[in-house]
Structure 1
Amino acid sequence: MTTKRMQTIEKIFNKTTSSKQIHEGVLFVENTIGNFSYSKGYGGKDMDSPMLMASITKLFTTTCILALLEKGELSLDDRLTNYFDNELLSGIHVYGSREYSFDLTLSDLLFQISGLPDVFEEGTNSAKSRAIEEDYYTTFSEQVALVKKLRPHFAPRTKGKAYYADINFDMLGEIIEKVTNTTLAEAYKKYIFEPLTLESTYLPEHENDFIPNIYYKDKSIYRPKVIRSSRASGGCITTARELMIFMKAFFGGKLFNKELFEQLTASNKLQATMGPIFYGSGYMRIPLDGLITLFMGKGELMGHSGSTGSFAFYYPIKDLFMVGDLNQMGNAALPIRLSMRLAMTTK
């Protein structure tokens, strides 16, 4: 059975990497106790090659928020006015001629239900389209100013609505720094890297910190300033080996109170451009029993993917963790499709 499962996984990965869109990649699949384990690299990458986590970094930010929640150092009901001055918040959320900027809470950010727009994907000169052309640094206050130029999508906490926007997690990162009185990198180190003994995972802060190249279609681009600007929403570097350690700890209750985490069950479907993805308390949920799979799957994938081709998911029904990277910024759906295929066809 194990050999057959490995052959299936290998076949799926080989088919994925045979695409002209993929120039390099890595896949690592394992069950909780590790007696089933499969890994394979492509294009010179392996389990210990540095990879850009991109939005999987949001799971690190979520970890810190939940750890601080457990310690009673913040509440998800806290308003953003507890952490930011009125000048910064003013005008960030005006919808239907009403201002909601001062009503936003931590929960709105964590669950992606603030309604705030996403400067990475939206606007005539979106951060993504600009990053493809040039490397540039953006401060947090500059990111907020860009958000204010775009229109929110709905009033906060509108029933059944969620909208994926990096600013939600950029703000959570700032809040973590204010609550802990340290840098975000230090908070990640305290709540994640040190407890799990992760030695190859880091949040780049300095010019000499190594940042991998990213592929956009056939072009390899180097964007250290863009990555260092992304911080809490997408700036971390790791390896597939260490990402697996983190994912098991995240869903296994090693980093924060698992009961607390399991109480945060609400999730809402994201905007249509995000396909079948729902968003829960700081992580993606992808149901496998819907129209997208012609109702042929069961259960759901839980975790996160990144816009550069990174992925980290847990499939509870088969007790499988799958992490890796396809390093392709030109098609954000690739890691989602691979993860869904692995979950649905692996016995």
Structure 2
Amino acid sequence: MDTTKIDILFKKLTSSDKIHESVLLIETSSGDFNFTREYERDIDSPMLMASTTKLFTTTCIYALAQEGKIDLKDKISHYLQKEIIAGLHVYKGKEYTSELTIEHLLLQTSGLPDFYLEGAKSIFSKVKEQDFSYSFEDELKWINSKKARFIPGTKRKAYYSDVNFDLLGKIIEVANVSTLQEAYEKYIFSLLNLKNTYIACNESDFIPHTYYKNQRLDRPLFVRSSYASGGGITTARELMIFIKAFWNGELFDTTFFSKQTQCNPLQMSFYPIHYMSGYMKISVSSPFRKKYTLVGHSGSTGSFAFYCPEKDLFLVGDVPQIASPSSCVRLAMRAVLAAH
């Protein structure tokens, strides 16, 4: 495969004074093609996964469904105490919390608001200024203070919200009778022999940095609070092992995906990303009208893990710059088009 254009693409990205570090790793399913580019870090450097963590949470949900411990149609109230989630979803004066299902959370079709980006005093604006911790109960209070976006399961509606996956994390703990870390270990880490991938939950856990413009950000308290929606740490090398296993059926029966046919566009700030059953889907068109697909996930700190089935390419990496969270998605999209 001619990688000249990908090499130029990576050099152009890292020549920007906005990008302080980056790593890109591309492989085929067989591993007979491997392309690596590193800038001020390497494929074994720890990296924040942020929302790429959601793929790990998705894995546990499907593994539990495969074992019969949960059903995707189950109401979340079957697993979570009603007094804890009371008032979680209120739309136009009517409460719909009792109608929320695991499937709604997985597809981002719950209609629940987003606590991270919404509002002038969003959590994102706060975390840029200082480090802080928060609890699951705090998160639910923030959600309760905001308006739901639509009735759960409204056709052609999806709204990206971290609380969907943090609720899934709690359901995993109840269904597996374990902590989330133990579930990740059981269903992912031990199966793939991942030694440098973990969900941050202890003070002893190493937390990598990211950047906001020219400011290096160290936010260990916030990352440890981010839980099932964004608290993962990994390396590019191990993220590649995971994303291959995720799509190749090594972790769960991938026929679950064919049963979940919904593909809904997220809110405009996420364009052109659509959401499916626990992962993002992005359509990429070449100048010659050829269409390609990226499926996987990205994170607000710049991490990404995608698969392009048309070219049989797996792409993982990191562009740590939270002032431009779309940079990593653009890198993956352009790399797919450049690969030939």
User: TM-score, length-normalised on structure 1?
Assistant: 0.96
After TM superposition, list the pairs within 5 Å mapping 1:328-347 onto structure 2. 328-347=321-340
Deviation at 1:187, TM superposition (A): 0.5
In 1, Cα distance between the equivalents of 2:255 and 2:146? 38
Q: Does 1:36 align with 2:33?
A: yes
Match of 1:206 in 2: 202
Amino acid at match of 1:188: Y
In 2, Cα distance between the equivalents of 1:97 and 1:324? 44
In 2, Cα distance between the equivalents of 1:128 and 1:180? 31
Q: 1:303 is paired with a residue of what secondary structure?
A: strand
Q: 2:199 is paired with a residue of what secondary structure?
A: coil
Q: 1:285-323 CA distances to partner (integer Å, 9 max, x unpaired)?
A: 00114xxx7784413100000000111100000000000
Pairing partner for 1:17 from 14, 30, 42 = 14
Q: 2:198 is paired with a residue of what secondary structure?
A: coil
After TM superposition, list the pairs within 5 Å mapping 1:122-271 onto structure 2. 122-271=118-267
Pairing partner for 2:72 from 72, 76, 84 = 76
Tell me if the contact between 1:66 and 1:261 (Cα under 8 Å) persists in the aligned partners: no
Q: 1:32-67 CA distances to partner (integer Å, 9 max, x unpaired)?
A: 000000111102x00100000110000000000000
Amino acid at match of 2:207: I
Tell me if the contact between 1:297 and 1:344 (Cα under 8 Å) persists in the aligned partners: no
Match of 2:303 in 1: 310
In 1, Cα distance between the equivalents of 2:154 and 2:259? 21
Q: Does 1:97 align with 2:93?
A: yes
Q: 1:227 is paired with a residue of what secondary structure?
A: helix
In 2, Cα distance between the equivalents of 1:294 and 1:279? 25
Pairing partner for 2:318 from 317, 322, 325 = 325
Q: 2:301 is paired with a residue of what secondary structure?
A: coil
Tell me if the contact between 2:296 and 2:305 (Cα under 8 Å) persists in the aligned partners: yes
Q: Does 1:57 align with 2:53?
A: yes
In 2, Cα distance between the equivalents of 1:265 and 1:38? 32
Amino acid at match of 1:133: E
Query: After TM superposition, which residue ranges in structure 1, 4 or more long, deviate above 3 angstroms?
Result: 293-297
In 2, Cα distance between the equivalents of 1:62 and 1:24? 28
Tell me if the contact between 1:89 and 1:102 (Cα under 8 Å) persists in the aligned partners: no
Tell me if the contact between 1:12 and 1:342 (Cα under 8 Å) persists in the aligned partners: yes
User: Closer, same or farther in 2 for the Cα pair 1:297/1:13, shift >3 Å?
Assistant: farther
Deviation at 1:89, TM superposition (A): 1.7
- Could you list the runs of 5+ residues in structure 1 that have no partner in the other structure? none
In 2, Cα distance between the equivalents of 1:251 and 1:265? 16
Q: Does 1:120 align with 2:116?
A: yes
Q: 1:206-230 CA distances to partner (integer Å, 9 max, x unpaired)?
A: 1121001110110001100100111
User: Closer, same or farther in 2 for the Cα pair 1:42/1:132, shift >3 Å?
Assistant: same
In 2, Cα distance between the equivalents of 1:213 and 1:138? 19
In 1, Cα distance between the equivalents of 2:38 and 2:258? 34
Q: 1:261 is paired with a residue of what secondary structure?
A: helix
What is the RMSD computed on CA atoms of the aligned residues?
Answer: 1.2
In 1, Cα distance between the equivalents of 2:263 and 2:333? 19
Q: 1:194 is paired with a residue of what secondary structure?
A: helix
Tell me if the contact between 1:29 and 1:323 (Cα under 8 Å) persists in the aligned partners: yes
Tell me if the contact between 1:123 and 1:150 (Cα under 8 Å) persists in the aligned partners: no
Tell me if the contact between 1:288 and 1:296 (Cα under 8 Å) persists in the aligned partners: no
In 2, Cα distance between the equivalents of 1:220 and 1:288? 32
- Tell me the number of residue pairs that the alignment of Structure 1 and Structure 2 aligns: 340
Amino acid at match of 1:279: Y
Percent pairwise identity: 49
